[in-house]
Amino acid sequence: MINLKILFLLAILFLIPLITDNSFALKTLNGFGDSPFERDFGDVKFIDAYFGTLDNKIEVEPGDNNVPFTVVFANVGTLDITGIKGQLSLPLRFSGANGQGSLIIGSSKSNSLAGENFNLIFFVNIDKNANIQQYPGTVKVDFSRLRESGVRSIFSDFNFKVTGKSVINVEALDPVLTSLKSNNVVIQIANNGTAPMSNVNLVSTKQSSENSSDNSLEKVVVLGSNWNVGNIAAKSSKAATATVYVPGNVKDTTLRVPLTITYFNGQGIQQTVNKIINFYIKGLTALRMYDVGVIELSNKPMVIGEIINEGNADALFGFITLEPLENSNIKKQTQFIDDIETDSPTPFNIPIEFDGQPRFGEHEIKLTVRYKDSLRNEIFLTQNSTIFIKEPPVVDKSGTNLQLIIIPLVIVIGIGIYMVRRRKKSAIQAK
């Protein structure tokens, strides 16, 4: 039983180096066979390690190849050093130009003055299955002290990070503005990359037109020109809102709004990106119905009214629909009314037809105007109204109006009765 426990523990101890993703497990694999006592030399001090060049830290993500990796040191000794060479040891998801298991050799200038910094540059492949996280690494530096014989070696352990890459995109959720009104604009700031962005800030500058000679857009007012949207995680977005007023003399043109975006990338370095959002400005179509009522035309009731366009763009391909509401038995009907021009009342008249026997008196109806704007978007205007339908006069089968006969006839009969009574009264008085 004891022997089995010992064997089990030995097996675990044997597997740990194989499954642990760290630099120490790879020293032998990448050629580090030197004694750890070689770390005792104090001439060279490790400063930093990162992807990028000396003056430019860069974002990297899984699948990137031949990426520069810089390790910075300081010569803290009292003598100049020369013959500087480096060798890098990274976890299993990273390799040199010749693939996994190959040596990652760094280059540097041949010497470093006492008290100066120097750097080694390596070129690394990142496996596509690597994670965006922090990793351990080890670097070996060989050098000689000036005017001394022999090669010294030091080892430095460090941590580095696969940051992912931030990719910013900015767009207006609705890129259409309407003149003669204030427009609520939503700007979406998306991080389409694999690295988070922090302290994202947007600033808009003076807008312009595609036509450089068009000065009318100077009268467009953007309320709010600076938005701080905070942090944006990878594969996510945030929104900023603004109010844009477009005067009536600006329509059928493109508004260009430049944006300057600043943020800190996965390396903690501030980035500046310039973007332009384009808006198309369309004219305003603003319809209003009025004077809705009922008239009789050729003894047939008709719903009449007028439509006025109080905007600055024509309503195109107009139709008006009459629909019954509540208990009305008026039939639904649609009538074509063509374009509705600005500041020009457009009349309409819709014959009233009944579903079944006519019902006279009050009716609740809905009138709907359907039209298209300059972008061929379909728009609807609805209005509920109460109309009164009078009962028509009674007409005999011959088409004669009975009232025109009955009223005079009653008058004649009345006069006749009066004359008969008067004669009888005179005769009685004569007797």
Q: Confidence band (pLDDT; 50, 70, 90) for 35?
A: very low
Could you give the angle at the alpha carbon of 349 between the alpha carbons of 347 and 354, nearest 5°? Answer: 160
- The residue among 293, 296, 292, 291 whose CA lies nearest residue 391 is 296
Q: How are beta strands 226-232 and 181-191 bridged, if at all?
A: unpaired
**pTM of the predicted model as reported, rounded to 2 decimal places:** 0.69
Average pLDDT (10-30) is 42
pLDDT for residue 205: 75
For 303, list phi and psi in degrees, rounded to 5: -85, 125
Q: Confidence band (pLDDT; 50, 70, 90) for 7?
A: low
For 361, list phi and psi in degrees, rounded to 5: 110, -150
Average pLDDT (211-215) is 54
Q: Confidence band (pLDDT; 50, 70, 90) for 241?
A: very high
pLDDT for residue 28: 38
% of the chain surpassing 90 pLDDT: 64
Domains defined for the chain, CATH in brackets: 19-161 (2.60.40.10), 168-282 (2.60.40.10), 287-389 (2.60.40.10)
Q: How are beta strands 81-89 and 94-95 bridged, if at all?
A: unpaired
Could you give the angle at the alpha carbon of 357 between the alpha carbons of 352 and 363, nearest 5°? Answer: 50
**162, pLDDT greater than 50:** yes
Average pLDDT (264-288) is 93
Helix-strand-coil percent breakdown of the chain, rounded to 5?
Answer: 15, 50, 35
Buried b / exposed e across 116-138, counting CB within 10 Å, b at 16+?
A: eebbbebbbbbbeebebeebbbb
Exposed, middle or buried, 418 (CB in 10 Å: 0-12/13-18/19+)?
A: exposed
Average pLDDT (101-124) is 86
**13, pLDDT greater than 70:** no
Average pLDDT (270-280) is 93
Contact 108, 85 (CB under 8 A): yes
Q: Confidence band (pLDDT; 50, 70, 90) for 270?
A: very high
pLDDT for residue 43: 85
**421, pLDDT greater than 90:** no
140 vs 216, which has greater pLDDT? 140
Q: Confidence band (pLDDT; 50, 70, 90) for 149?
A: confident
**215, pLDDT greater than 90:** no
Q: What is the mean pLDDT of the chain?
A: 84
pLDDT for residue 42: 75
Highest-confidence segment of 326-335, 387-396, 415-424: 326-335
Phi-psi region of 150 (alpha: psi -120 to 50; beta: other; left: phi over 0): left
**211, pLDDT greater than 70:** no
pLDDT for residue 224: 73
**213, pLDDT greater than 60:** no
Q: Confidence band (pLDDT; 50, 70, 90) for 90?
A: very high
pLDDT for residue 37: 36
Q: Confidence band (pLDDT; 50, 70, 90) for 379?
A: very high
